[in-house]
Every structure is written in structure tokens, then in C-alpha cells.
Amino acid sequence: MNITSYFSKDLFQGKTVFITGGSSGINLGIARNFAAVGANLGICGRAQDKLDAASAELRELGARVSAHSADVRDYAALDRAMQRLKEELGPIHTLVCGAAGNFPCPAEQISPNGFKSVIDIDLMGTFHACRAAFEQLKETGGNILFISAGQAFMPYAFQAHVGAAKAGIDQMMRNLALEWGRFGIRCNSIAPGPIEGTEGVRRLVPEGSADKLKKMIPLGRFGTPDDIGQLSVFLASPLASYITGTLVVADGGQNLPGSGAWTHLIMAEMAKAKG
């Protein structure tokens, strides 16, 4: 589905969107859709080769792109990246907090450092991005999109670290929506389900089990990066100007039956893989 069949190609003309973790996966899908509606794009990530490839792809779509090698755990580096972005493309209108870390691990086996790593990337990294972008968002009356997950509100096996981080992100989103509304800044979260072709699916869905898992989703399929990208454009657009402090779940209905059957299948497949 081409987003320009529904949204004007100049919907975000002259507006700058900054996406943490924007060089791959869901976040690159979000960047593609903002590029299609005229946005200037800032992306950051740790892998320079991925940043270079993503920048080239987005420029082919006609976007002006500013790529920054920055780790969201490093507030000073993120702040410098955003200041440079403002000089190059103008102040941030939409911030997408998408940088994340994940690995499946039983709670009793997660090391303190492993748990802290996910908290530092997901939760602290999200706060760093919001804090660094605040003055620019205040200037533009912009908005923040937080990329959450079903683990924030539904317990999943081997995801205690991720659930804690994502739940923290969603509560921070609500607090910032409450506090920063007076500046005209809107804040909303998106909780994607499993998204085809992403690192998350590669890590969390055992090989050979995708078809079984799809049958547990009411809509019968995994999502696509465009599903999340198009939703992101809508939430950042004037069409959603009265929506703030909200978690939008885009999972094909995955979490409606609860996590039990999904969790049992994942656990069985992982046990089988270990022999």
C-alpha cells in the first residue's frame, strides 16, 4: 500500500523528523514513509555502514537526510547530533524514539549487565532523546512517537528485561504528554506486533515456527514496516492533533487472546532447538 494514495506528498514538506535507530527494521520503514510525504530526515545509529545504506535509500526517495553515528546511551553525543541536524535541516518537528535492544533469555539467566543494557538502550535512551529534543520540539509545537511493544502490557516468557523497559517507556510517554502538553507537544506510543523481515522477528521467532505463530494472530499475518510507518505518519500529522498520551497497539490482534499459547509455542520450539 503506497502511503501517497492516502496522504499528500507534501504533508510534511519543510518539517524535520528525527528517528533514533533509524537505519534499519521498523524504524527505517518509518523513515521511508515520512520521506514519501516530504519530510526532511535525521537518523542516528551505531553502525556506520547501515547509516550509509539507509541514507542512500532515503535520498533516492527524494528526502534530505542527515545521518549521525550516535549511541542513545550517550546523552552528549545525541544532543550534538540534534544540534547539527537543526543547523542542516531545521528544528525537529517529530521525534521517533525507536532505538532498542532485545534478546530472549529466561529471567533466572539474565545477568545484571544484560538487564541493565536493555534498560539503558530502551528506557534511558528514550529519555535522552526526548530531553535533547525538547527545546526544538517546543519551538515547533511538535510531537514524539515512542516505539513500544506488547511486552509492556502483556507478560511474555524470556522478556522480563524488555517488558520492564517498554512499560517504563509507556509511562514516561504519559507523563511527558501531561507535562509538555502546555508547550503544544504531543506524545504517543505505538506497540507493534511481530513485523516481517526485522531483527526482532529473527531473534524472537524460532526458525520454522512463523506459520504456526501467524495462525495465532486474528488477522493471520505478521505486520510490515509500512504498517507501522503509515501509522506513524498519521499520529504525527494534523489529522491526529487532538491525540496525546495514548498507546496505539498495531499487532493484528496478537495480544487479544493473551500471551499463553504464543509463549508455550515459543518455549517448546526453543527447547526443541536446544535438543
Q: Dihedral through CA 226, CA 231, CA 232, CA 234, nearest 10? A: 130
CA atoms within 13 A on the CB side of 29: 22
The domain ranges of the chain are 3-273
Cα dihedral 196, 273, 214, 257 sign? negative
H, E, C per residue of 126-178: HHHHHHHHHHHHHHHCCEEEEECCHHHCCCCCCCHHHHHHHHHHHHHHHHHHH
d(CA 229, CA 12): 14
As a whole number, mean pLDDT of residues 203-224 equals 88
What is the rounded CA–CA span in Å between residue 166 and residue 202? 19
At 221 the pLDDT is 96
Mean pLDDT to the nearest integer, 68-84: 98
Portion of the chain with pLDDT greater than 90, in percent: 85
In the prediction, which pLDDT does 139 show? 98
Q: Thinking of the domain 3-273, which architecture would CATH place it in?
A: 3-Layer(aba) Sandwich (3.40)
86 part of the active site: no
Sign of CA dihedral 213, 215, 225, 11: negative
CA distance 180 to 191: 22
The whole-number pLDDT of residue 265 equals 73
Q: Residues 194-203: what's their mean pLDDT?
A: 87
Q: Which of 21-25, 43-47, 68-72, 261-265 has the lowest mean pLDDT?
A: 261-265
- Tens digit of pLDDT for each residue in 234-245? 999 999 999 999
Task: Give me the pLDDT at residue 203, please.
Answer: 82
Choice among 23, 24, 66, 148 that is catalytic:
148
Cβ atoms within 10 Å, residue 176: 23
Average pLDDT, the chain: 94
Q: What is the pLDDT of residue 264?
A: 72
Inform me whether the pLDDT recorded for 201 exceeds 90. no
| β partners of residue 67 | 43
Active-site pick, 50, 86, 166, 232? 166
Q: Name the CA radius of gyration of the chain, rounded.
A: 18
CA distance 219 to 224: 13
pTM exceeding 0.75:
yes
Annotated catalytic residue 24 = no
List C-alpha distances in Å: 211 to 64, 206, 208, 215, 269: 39, 11, 7, 6, 13
Mean pLDDT of the 66-90 span: 98
Q: What is the pLDDT of residue 275?
A: 61
